[in-house]
Amino acid sequence: MALFDIDHPWVFTFGILGNVVSILLFLTTVPTFRKIYEAKSTMGFDSLTYATALMSSMLWLYYEKLTRDSVLIITINLFGSIVETAHLIVFFIYASKKARAHAGKILGPMNVGLLFLIFAVTFFLFKGETRARAMHGSF
């Protein structure tokens, strides 16, 4: 597929609009992390939201690798992965030991274990085009 799909300009236009909205969505947490940075404390915020957003972005990047579908999927999810990783780093820096341990219990199994399991299952059980359909949910 072409880098920019000029055969379907409306699809590309709405893809760009979707990326703009997604960038704004990823950036909605910046004020929260500014408060965390200024207070030098996580102030009771939980890391689950940021870990889930990171997991989602990483899964979309894997899906794009399988389908080679669109540069728009890469750009927004790479941006999201970077933003959420930065947020989690700030969270870990300023979190209490208890909050850090709780976040580690979420990040380890979910963002490492579950992601690895998804990669392994789709890699070993499915081949070629079937792999992308398995990630998409349509066999």
Section 57-71 average pLDDT: 83
Tell whether the model's pLDDT for residue 21 goes beyond 60. yes
Query: Tokens 């207070």 appear where?
Result: 39
Give every CB contact of residue 36 below 8 A, 6+ residues apart in sequence.
42, 43, 45, 90, 91, 94
Section 114-128 average pLDDT: 82
* The two three-digit tokens of residue 123, written as one number: 């890699």
Tell whether the model's pLDDT for residue 5 goes beyond 80. no
Section 44-58 average pLDDT: 90
For residue 49, count other CB atoms closer than 10 A to its CB: 13
Query: Tokens 């990783």 appear where?
Result: 85
DSSP letter at 7 equals: T
Q: At what angle do helices 71-94 and 30-39 cross, to 10 degrees?
A: 20
Least confident of 7-11, 52-56, 102-106: 7-11
Q: How confident is the model at residue 88 (pLDDT cuts 50, 70, 90)?
A: very high
Give every CB contact of residue 5 below 8 A, 6+ residues apart in sequence.
11, 12, 70
Section 80-105 average pLDDT: 92
What is the average pLDDT value for the chain, to the nearest integer?
A: 85
